[in-house]
Amino acid sequence: MPTDEGYDAFVAARRDLLVEERGGGPVVEAAVDRALARCRRGWRRLEREDDVEARVRDQVELELDRPRRRRIALRAVGVLLLVVLAGVLWSLRPQPPAVAEEPNPLPVPWYDGTDLHLAEVRVTLPDLGPFVADGDGVIVRRDGEVQRVDADGDLSAYSGSVDFGSDTTDNIPPIDPNDRILQSVDGPSDTTLHLVEMLSSNPEAGTYVRLSETGRRVFLLCTPYSCVTRLVEPGARLR
């Protein structure tokens, strides 16, 4: 850079005084030197148009304040990142299952492969594991965790012990030998609920096949005297 006598003279006369006025030390010296270096490029214009002394002092204050402003900027960036991260985590949180009011036509909870049917509501829970009745709700295994679905469809953690073994009953309904009982559960008032896979061509199976082209499973709700058929979706399970 070409020699500028006016600049050199100012530095020689004022540099140490500017440092001393601001308490001295390496931090202040570095700030003063940066301020003088920033002013050097337009020094001749400053001499013609501005108060050089005031301009240099203003630049020194800016340089002294730069670390504080940098900390504020970094802190603001950190806060922004935390807000963004919180938003991402909030968007990724497990969503509560969809719940619809729908009276259960069966006296026990059952699952059709997508929805869990409780007494008064239907809860959408894809890929549900085994479950057992618990009062008005059920205890389920879902995504490797044991949880409770209450009567309103609300999902919560469950820390108690639970046996997911199938219920058994000796009350076997009169079915075609070719049909297969997949599961049986004792219901209220001396009723028994059987999940039956219809493999035969008897009239009951034929009716079911005409109503649904996707499966052959029915619920048989039996009393000691008779059984009533309930049409269900493929993949149904009950407790």
pLDDT exceeds 50 at position 1 = no
| Residue located via tokens 């058929």 | 229
If pLDDT is split at 50, 70 and 90, which confidence band does 11 have? confident
Is the pTM above the cut of 0.85? no
pLDDT, residue 212, reads 45
pLDDT exceeds 50 at position 134 = yes
pLDDT, residue 138, reads 83
CA-wise closest residue to 230 among 221, 172, 216, 119: 221
Percentage of the chain modeled with pLDDT above 90: 0
If pLDDT is split at 50, 70 and 90, which confidence band does 236 have? low
pLDDT, residue 47, reads 75
**What's the whole-number mean pLDDT along residues 150-169?**
76
Hey, which residues does 183 pair with through a beta bridge?
195
Supply 162's token pair: 């639970």
Beta-carbon contacts of 195 under 8 Å, excluding residues fewer than 6 positions away, are 181, 182, 183, 184, 217, 218, 219, 232, 236, 237, 238
Q: Which residue has the higher pLDDT, 98 or 197?
A: 98
Rounded Cα distance, 7 and 236, in Å? 89
Which residue type, as a one-letter code, is found at position 70?
Answer: R
**What's the whole-number mean pLDDT along residues 140-165?**
82
Q: Which residue has the higher pLDDT, 30 or 221?
A: 30
The separation between CA 20 and the C-alpha centre of its own chain, rounded to angstroms, equals: 58
Q: What is the mean pLDDT of the chain?
A: 76
Beta-carbon contacts of 110 under 8 Å, excluding residues fewer than 6 positions away, are 104, 116, 117, 219, 232, 236, 237, 238, 239
If pLDDT is split at 50, 70 and 90, which confidence band does 87 have? confident
If pLDDT is split at 50, 70 and 90, which confidence band does 5 have? confident
Q: Please state, in angstroms and as integers, the Cα–Cα distance from residue 188 to each residue in 8, 117, 167, 175, 223, following that order.
A: 102, 17, 14, 22, 10
Q: Which residue has the higher pLDDT, 128 or 7?
A: 7
Percentage of the chain modeled with pLDDT above 70: 78
**Buried-exposed string 132-169: b where 16+ CB fall within 10 A, e elsewhere:** bbbeebbbbbbeeebbbbbeebebeebeeeeeeeebee
List pLDDT tens digits, range 195-234.
777 776 665 555 444 444 445 677 777 776 667 666 665 5
Residue 221: Cβ-neighbour burial (10 angstroms; 0-12, 13-18, 19+): buried
Q: Among 48-57, 149-158, 215-224, which is the least confidently predicted range?
A: 215-224
